[in-house]
Structure 1
Amino acid sequence: MSSWGKNNPDHAPKKYWSLGEAKGKLETYCAYQERCQWEVRRKLHEKGIYGEQAEALIAELIAHNFLNEERFARSFARGKFRLRHWGKSRITRELKLRQISPRCIQYGLSEIDPEEYWDTLLSQAEKKWEKTSEKDSFKKNYKVISYLIGRGFEQDLVQEAVASVSSRQSQ
């Protein structure tokens, strides 16, 4: 059994930050990678800073351009699409979870090239089609479609891509 956990007496409690310390650490935290306000609030809460103090720190980070929701949404959408091969639905859901405004979500999704999106969807469909060892073509279609919808691709595009892949494979 792991020694990590809430009931471990040897585990030291989390170290809280002072306000001065928090400002420097948050600047480093935001400079390392694009962050959103939700992530910064969560980090501040972990470190024992709440309410008006947290909001003042966030306002200062925004003023000094360490935090920018539009820039975050664009970076997030680009990265999750290109590296993780997520579809637009999944990216939108994750951005909403992080409390990003609908306008910024649209800016983020505009970073995805429609041709590249279709090519990625087709390649993901082909890979899953090859890996799925199902004899019944109806079940195989269902499994591939379920997988792609789970990755966040839109159902109409998924159906079209799977139809394209299955027709090529059956020839």
Structure 2
Amino acid sequence: MEKKSFTFDEIKLKLVNYCVYQDRCHAEVEQKMREFMLIDEAKDEIILYLLKENYLNEERFTRSYIRGKFYIKHWGRNKIKMNLKQKQISEKLISICFDEIYEPDYEKTLKKMFEDYYSKQLGIKEYQKKAKTIKYLMGKGFEYEKINDIFE
């Protein structure tokens, strides 16, 4: 199948729509641009345009990503941070944006996930229940110290 070729303006519009549909980070936009086999100058021009017009905003992306992954998917900070780093978001920006998670909500979510999972571990010894629950919650990205506090 032949690849359809687009004009520069069509590509620019496609990338605007890509960013409007949901917040994107630079890495996602760069990835999307690879489909259009643009020369570097054209890529740079589009990125600058997206930034200037605020279609591309790394902080806004990071904040909405953190909110979504915590409040909807119930991920802990470690998993969120790891995934943002894969998207080439800086450690500094991640730290700044973690204020999107209200600490009492974080503790409440962790406690609820703990109770739900722990109560379903039947027919095994107490220490196994504890070990499985810790492993599960760490897999969800919660910090070991925070998980351990629940057992105290």
Q: If the length of structure 1 is used for normalisation, what is the TM-score?
A: 0.82
Matched, 1:41 2:30: yes
CA distance in 1, matches of 2:5, 2:62: 29
Task: Provide closer, same or farther for how the CA distance between residues 14 and 96 of structure 1 changes in structure 2, counting only shifts above 3 A.
Answer: farther
Q: CA deviation at 1:107?
A: 2.5
What residue number does 1:67 align with?
56
Task: Provide closer, same or farther for how the CA distance between residues 124 and 27 of structure 1 changes in structure 2, counting only shifts above 3 A.
Answer: same
Letter in 2 for 1:23: K
Matched, 1:99 2:88: yes
CA distance in 2, matches of 1:81, 1:15: 39
What residue number does 1:109 align with?
98
CA distance in 2, matches of 1:155, 1:104: 23
Q: CA deviation at 1:53?
A: 2.0
CA distance in 2, matches of 1:114, 1:93: 19
2:114 to 125, 136, 152: 125
Letter in 2 for 1:82: Y
Q: If the length of structure 2 is used for normalisation, what is the TM-score?
A: 0.92
What residue number does 1:158 align with?
147
CA distance in 2, matches of 1:79, 1:128: 22
Structure 1 contact 30–66 (Cα < 8 Å) conserved: yes
Task: Provide closer, same or farther for how the CA distance between residues 13 and 149 of structure 1 changes in structure 2, counting only shifts above 3 A.
Answer: farther
Instruction: Give the secondary-structure state (helix, strand or coil) at the position aligned to 1:66.
Output: coil
Q: Segments of 4+ in structure 1 off by > 3 A?
A: 12-18
**How many correspondences in the alignment?**
152
The higher relative CO (CA closer than 8 Å, separation ≥ 6) is in: 2
1:88 to 77, 98, 104: 77
Q: CA deviation at 1:59?
A: 1.2
1:141 to 122, 130, 134: 130
Instruction: Give the secondary-structure state (helix, strand or coil) at the position aligned to 1:110.
Output: helix
Q: Deviations over 1:62-105 (max 9, x none)?
A: 01100010111111001100000000111111111111122221
Letter in 2 for 1:158: I
Question: What RMSD over aligned residues (CA atoms) do the two structures have, in Å?
Answer: 1.6
Question: What is the identity percentage for the equivalent residue pairs of Structure 1 and Structure 2?
Answer: 38
Letter in 2 for 1:39: E
CA distance in 1, matches of 2:132, 2:122: 10
What residue number does 2:44 align with?
55
Find the structure with the greater CA-based Rg.
1
Structure 2 gaps, min length 5: none
